[in-house]
Structure 1
Amino acid sequence: MITAKASSLVTAAMRDTLIYDPITKAETPVQQSWVSLEISNGNGDVATLTRWVKHPTITDGVIRVQHGPALTTSAILPYDDFFVGRAGSVTSPRGFHNWLAQFIGWRLPELSARDGRTAPLYMEQVFPLLFVEQKRGWAGIQSQMPYFSAVPDVRKRAIEFLLALEVGGLDLRRQELQANLRGLESQWTTERQRFVDRASGSGITLEGIPKQIKAGWTPDGRAELLSADGAGWIPVLEKLRRMRLELKSASARNVRAVGQISQLIEQQLQAALDKSTRIQEDGAIIRDEILRDQDELTAIEGRLAALEDDLRQYQDVATLERLGSHTTADLQSDCPVCHQTLPGSLLGDQSTHLMSIQDSINYIKQQTELFAAMERDSRRSLEAKREQLAGLRTEASETRALIRRLRSDLVSPNDVPSEEEVAARVLLRQRVEAAERVLEDFEVLQAALVRLASAADALRIELASLPKDRLTEVDRTKLEALRLSFVKQLQEYDFGSFSDERLRLSDDDYLPRRDDFDLQADISASDSIRVIWAYLIGLLEIGRRFETNHPGLLVFDEPRQQSAKDVSFAALLRRASQHARGGQVLLATSERSETLSQMLAGVPVRMHNVAGYLLQPVEE
């Protein structure tokens, strides 16, 4: 929570040299140093944790867990070593935070990160609500929040977890459903594109299947494959039916000799030559259309880019206008589309009003929608024509091969079987098999897309069923109790920046607000410290009254910051003692013993006075 480098957290007195005699102040080299902590949980289990700062063989990445009270007894206890400060410390069975979460009884949630992956809510992100360190912790509530997990709103998620707010689970479920829906949309696009890529260049186009998943989608006869047929299109099923009939008819007769069909061969050759000429002409027409469509698409894309730039500029102007700027009058003389200078009125009537900034924005948005639709249509048309041209090229190649075979037949001896009839049957059979494979792939694609659409519909239904109101009644009860505790404490701590009538907790991040402003940005430094006291102790109190994940532990390191008044600090000590029952509040302070004794008169506490230096040598 405080630093990524554990060794830099402790002072040189634990790493290099130690001064432990306040009289001589002699420096003694440190050979070994460590920190041991004895803890217990709500089940009565006790463990002793040890982490070495300096050791000849053990690094600070190891924490030893002795299963029992090693500091308060002299018994020899079994132990396990766990690692910390590296990947797996939360999830691995040998990770210390994994062990500690089980010991506390926490089940830390998985959160959606910005890069699309999931990451747990780390303990380091919860503990700023439980432990305030002296040097940097008093800058604000959760001021030492680490953001290494790339989880958005992690401060909010930590509060939701600690208070066990139901909205946290609902938000997490909503994020999970949305992530799953995005995954299905990605699969849909991938499956469709994979089929299109396989069919690309074969003169086949896909109709009736949207590029993006749609609610309630089913094929319903709308999805079909079309095959290029000259300058037009026919369904692949119809083309396959024709080819099967042709193949059946050809297979029913024997291959004839060249002499038997010489006249037919000449007729077929002439027809093939005519077909080749027609294909070349159709191809030239389609190529010209493709070039025109490409130019049109480029122009539309340029227009869209210009409209988007215009929209950004006008939105910026609208923002300045809303903020009270009067420097936008010069735009009134420009056309929002072509930027030409306009007279006061196109009709010469000076009383006619020009379009306002907002009118211009609405007009540009309409234009953008129009050109976006034109762009989609142009792309679809261009893709279809490219497939049509690919089909014509395949047909032209087959026609040229046919011409070569027919010419070969014409110069062959009369008793030789016709090469064309043999090749035509082989080629026809290959076409039938290829069409059958494409249709089989198409059936597989439709089945996969139906499953994806059905799964997406189920996710959408569950998303729609989630409560529209983010906070449940139980959540609101907890937050209202936290607000009342917070306000009451501020009164006890002599909060002086303003009255508390307008203090509330934000529904967005659950942090204190005054009207719509961050409370801590609008108060004195000493009152900012009081806000941190009140909020964190409020969380502790809510954990005593409601079912939450608060462990009942709160640690304040030097809480009397910014010269907080004696009366405020005394009130903090009383409040902390009063509401720590069943848990533990630890305060470390350098206040004089006499002053503390007066403040703590009649307050149930356990006070440990440290005389001299805190760190002392250990004799073994």
Structure 2
Amino acid sequence: MTLKLEHLQLRAETPRGLFGADVPLGGGLVVLRAENSRGKSTAVRSILFALGLERMITAKASSLVTAAMRDTLIYDSATKAETPVRRSWVSLEISNQNQEIVTLTRWVKDSTISDGVIRVTHGPALTSVGVYPSEDFFVGRGGSVTSPRGFHNWLARFIGWELPELPARDGRTAPLYMEQVFPLLFVEQKRGWAGIQAQMPYFSAVTDVRKRAIEFLLALEIGGRELRRQELQARLRSLDEQWKSTHSRFMARTEGSGISVAGIPAQIRPGWSPGVNVGLLAAVDDGWVPVTEQIRAAKADLEAATGRAARSVGEVSSKIEGQLREALDRSTRIQENGAILRDEILRDQEELAAIEGRLNALADDLRQYQDVATLERLGAHTAADLRSDCPVCHRELPETLLGSEPANLMSIQDSINYIKQQVELFNAMEQDGRRVLEAKREQLAGFRAEASATRSLIRRLRTDLTSPNSILSEEEVAERIILRQKIEKLERLVEEFDTLQAQLDRLASAAESLRQELSEIPKDRFTDLDEKKIEALRRSFVKQLQEYDFGSFSDERLRLSADDYLPRRDDFDLQADISASDSIRVIWAYLIGLLEVSGQYNTNHPGFLVFDEPRQQSAKDVSFAALLRRASAHAASGQVILATSEKLEPLSEMLQGLPVVMHDVAGYLLQPI
């Protein structure tokens, strides 16, 4: 995987004519030297602009390039006279490992073409003028990495990268963006030297994005395994959300109907499958019966009613009187049972509120004891403050109970463990209480529905008794209609329940497959190859610090963290514990170390590195000279570009004998064409 910058071209149209610059780059060590404010930053930032990487620095693309390409440029170095820029663009010729050369063009200022467009010309249009095919891509907006017409999608394929999808904090996934990888390849002067990956943008909400970028660049297998683990966990969470949504929709369908769902949990549980303990229950009197039994009973009643002809009121008057007495008795029983059930529900609600209050109190106790445990580990003495009240009711204990020297007191850790057990117990009680309360509410809803049906029956029976004997009995006609409606409603509900079980069974099976795949992912943190790469990076890093005259402390205590692969001294962030000039040396050593590891092992490093003004914080001449030697030695098969305002004479002495491409900008970078 290779990306090499071959040639940079800048152009700006002004009322005084066309200005511009051509900077051949090539391979190996490339040094671009210019005095301060003469165009060095214009060149470096234009490279970022051509690659569509402005979000490393700013949200607005045109803000990345300097005023000389955007607003006004100095055309007279003696008087500093300026001329406005009417139109400007940047072109960058790049190549890859397949020796494919393309030319990128992006417009900084143009009346018709937006800076959100990058034109890819398939050929060396800057160094070998000719007619080549071209195509336009968009950049700086959603889809730039994923869409076929997104520039970073194209650039990733050109480099040979397959940017991974990463889990984000909001539950979705997002790609690792190029702007999150390039801080390890490109250090810009104003913001890049604050630390390793100082220019890291966080717009994707990806967790541990610094770590993920290093894992990707080193092609660590642990990174792929961890990403696979997180991907599977994200898919499990998605299945659980689907389960909850499907379950809650069906529960809303049955709410208030006197129907209860048995055997289906509110979320996916390992090992769940449709079985004998799963079913629909209907509230009848003071108990529950399967809905299928209700359907069978209703069908039997309908068959009996249908088997006889409808009779007149006179023929069934004695029967109607008996039915009315039964209906009145049933209505009374329902009211009595409903009143009892309402009282039980109120008591259950009070008990549930008491459990919730106890859980809140336990949570407070747990926090308090955990804080005390932390303080005691740090050497404080605070346990006595916790022994003056009852751990259950929190009332102050009398001295007669406390005594002068209490014996056999639980330790702080024992108290924490005890409280955790109490929390588990009360959580289980709360869950059981909620399930019982929900079932009783459904049973009460069933009572209400039955009471409503009984009242309707009483009205029909009374109507029949007051009707002429010759007309048909309203109750006998209505009975058949009501039974048919009841059967249709319950059968429809059973069909929906069967569909629900099938959907949940598929989700449960998919979740079981994901859990199985998760269990098969190796638990070991690093493979042998991962450890070799990390050790190679550590050796290169430490060796370079020795060469750069790192002075904050000896290197024996330096290591790379297994958590984020960044340098540590003991357990502390290295850069937070050293001088400013040594912090710059750390950045040199780490980023060049990544480049050197790519020469020993197969990685995703593209083999190029750009340092803009690397001699920060007045780093010593001996350190800067060592950096140039190290960069030259390990850029033979790749490319290291250093932009500097170092004085020409000492810089030439440092570069003497090194294979280097040197560009010394005399005057301003942008000159009349």
For the aligned pair, the TM-score class normalised by the smaller chain equals over 0.9
**Contact 1:219 1:446 survives alignment (8 Å):** yes
**Contact 1:203 1:387 survives alignment (8 Å):** yes
Moved more, 416-425 or 168-177: 416-425
**Alpha-carbon distance in 2 for matches of 1:418, 1:334:** 74
Confirm whether residue 306 of structure 1 aligns to residue 343 of structure 2: no
Residue identity matched to 1:583: G
C-alpha deviation, 1:348, in angstroms: 4.2
**Alpha-carbon distance in 2 for matches of 1:515, 1:410:** 96
Unmatched segments (≥5 aa) in structure 1: none
**Alpha-carbon distance in 2 for matches of 1:83, 1:259:** 87
**Contact 1:337 1:364 survives alignment (8 Å):** no
**Alpha-carbon distance in 2 for matches of 1:506, 1:221:** 53
Residue identity matched to 1:443: D
Q: 2:168 aligns with which of 93, 113, 138?
A: 113
Confirm whether residue 498 of structure 1 aligns to residue 582 of structure 2: no
Confirm whether residue 58 of structure 1 aligns to residue 113 of structure 2: yes
SS, match of residue 57 in structure 1: coil
Q: 1:260 aligns with which of 307, 315, 337?
A: 315
Give the match for residue 249 of structure 2.
194
C-alpha deviation, 1:310, in angstroms: 2.6
Give the match for residue 427 of structure 1.
482
Give the match for residue 396 of structure 1.
451
**Alpha-carbon distance in 2 for matches of 1:109, 1:316:** 40
Moved more, 65-74 or 342-351: 342-351
TM-score normalised by the chain length of structure 2: 0.88
Hey, which of these two has a bigger chunk of strand by percent?
2
**Alpha-carbon distance in 1 for matches of 2:370, 2:313:** 78
C-alpha deviation, 1:486, in angstroms: 1.2
- CA deviation vs aligned residue, 1:276-320 (integer Å, no higher than 9, x gap): 111111111111212222222222222222222232233223223
C-alpha deviation, 1:322, in angstroms: 2.3
**Alpha-carbon distance in 2 for matches of 1:442, 1:600:** 79
Moved more, 454-463 or 266-275: 266-275
Give the match for residue 447 of structure 1.
502
Residue identity matched to 2:444: L
Give the match for residue 123 of structure 1.
178
SS, match of residue 161 in structure 2: coil
SS, match of residue 148 in structure 2: coil
Give the match for residue 342 of structure 1.
397
Give the match for residue 170 of structure 1.
225
**Alpha-carbon distance in 1 for matches of 2:550, 2:404:** 64
Give the match for residue 184 of structure 1.
239
The alignment yields a C-alpha RMSD, in angstroms, of 1.9
SS, match of residue 425 in structure 1: helix
**Alpha-carbon distance in 2 for matches of 1:479, 1:50:** 38
Confirm whether residue 476 of structure 1 aligns to residue 534 of structure 2: no
**Contact 1:161 1:168 survives alignment (8 Å):** yes
**Alpha-carbon distance in 2 for matches of 1:122, 1:348:** 66
**Alpha-carbon distance in 1 for matches of 2:168, 2:160:** 24
SS, match of residue 111 in structure 1: strand
**Alpha-carbon distance in 2 for matches of 1:353, 1:527:** 55
**Contact 1:345 1:352 survives alignment (8 Å):** no
**CA shift in 2, pair 1:260/1:581, >3 Å:** same
Q: 1:211 aligns with which of 266, 282, 299?
A: 266
**CA shift in 2, pair 1:19/1:405, >3 Å:** closer
**Alpha-carbon distance in 2 for matches of 1:25, 1:402:** 101
**Alpha-carbon distance in 1 for matches of 2:276, 2:581:** 73
Give the match for residue 384 of structure 1.
439
Give the match for residue 601 of structure 1.
656
Q: 1:144 aligns with which of 199, 208, 221?
A: 199
TM-score normalised by the chain length of structure 1: 0.95
SS, match of residue 387 in structure 2: helix
**Alpha-carbon distance in 2 for matches of 1:62, 1:446:** 51
Confirm whether residue 237 of structure 1 aligns to residue 292 of structure 2: yes
**Contact 1:344 1:350 survives alignment (8 Å):** no
Tell me how many residue pairs correspond in the alignment.
618
C-alpha deviation, 1:596, in angstroms: 2.0
**Alpha-carbon distance in 2 for matches of 1:366, 1:468:** 29
SS, match of residue 663 in structure 2: coil
C-alpha deviation, 1:35, in angstroms: 2.3
**CA shift in 2, pair 1:31/1:435, >3 Å:** closer
**Contact 1:47 1:67 survives alignment (8 Å):** yes
C-alpha deviation, 1:180, in angstroms: 0.8
- CA deviation vs aligned residue, 1:542-596 (integer Å, no higher than 9, x gap): 1112111111110111111122222221211111111112211111112222212
C-alpha deviation, 1:95, in angstroms: 2.3
Residue identity matched to 2:301: E
**Alpha-carbon distance in 1 for matches of 2:384, 2:401:** 18
C-alpha deviation, 1:345, in angstroms: 6.9
- CA deviation vs aligned residue, 1:120-174 (integer Å, no higher than 9, x gap): 1111111111111112211111111111111111111111111111112111111
SS, match of residue 108 in structure 2: strand
**CA shift in 2, pair 1:422/1:578, >3 Å:** same
**Alpha-carbon distance in 1 for matches of 2:433, 2:149:** 59
SS, match of residue 233 in structure 1: strand
Give the match for residue 15 of structure 2.
none
Residue identity matched to 1:423: A
Q: 2:612 aligns with which of 550, 553, 557?
A: 557
Give the match for residue 44 of structure 1.
99
SS, match of residue 70 in structure 1: coil
**Alpha-carbon distance in 1 for matches of 2:506, 2:68:** 65
- CA deviation vs aligned residue, 1:187-206 (integer Å, no higher than 9, x gap): 11122221111111211111
Give the match for residue 547 of structure 1.
602
**Alpha-carbon distance in 2 for matches of 1:94, 1:269:** 78
**Contact 2:372 2:382 survives alignment (8 Å):** no
**Alpha-carbon distance in 2 for matches of 1:99, 1:83:** 10
Residue identity matched to 2:85: V
Moved more, 86-95 or 44-53: 86-95
**Alpha-carbon distance in 1 for matches of 2:210, 2:229:** 18
**Alpha-carbon distance in 2 for matches of 1:96, 1:300:** 58
**Alpha-carbon distance in 2 for matches of 1:24, 1:398:** 99
C-alpha deviation, 1:246, in angstroms: 2.2
| Matched-pair identity in % | 74
Residue identity matched to 1:359: D
**Alpha-carbon distance in 2 for matches of 1:207, 1:123:** 51
Unmatched segments (≥5 aa) in structure 2: 1-55
Q: 1:526 aligns with which of 559, 578, 581?
A: 581
SS, match of residue 580 in structure 1: coil
**CA shift in 2, pair 1:348/1:518, >3 Å:** closer
Moved more, 557-566 or 334-343: 334-343
Q: 2:126 aligns with which of 71, 76, 86?
A: 71
Residue identity matched to 1:486: F
Moved more, 169-178 or 597-606: 597-606
Superposed, 1:245-324 pairs within 5 Å as: 245-324=300-379
**CA shift in 2, pair 1:515/1:412, >3 Å:** same
**Contact 1:336 1:360 survives alignment (8 Å):** no
C-alpha deviation, 1:361, in angstroms: 2.4
SS, match of residue 246 in structure 2: helix
C-alpha deviation, 1:443, in angstroms: 1.4
SS, match of residue 662 in structure 2: coil
**CA shift in 2, pair 1:424/1:25, >3 Å:** closer
Confirm whether residue 31 of structure 1 aligns to residue 86 of structure 2: yes
**Alpha-carbon distance in 1 for matches of 2:61, 2:378:** 48
Residue identity matched to 1:332: R
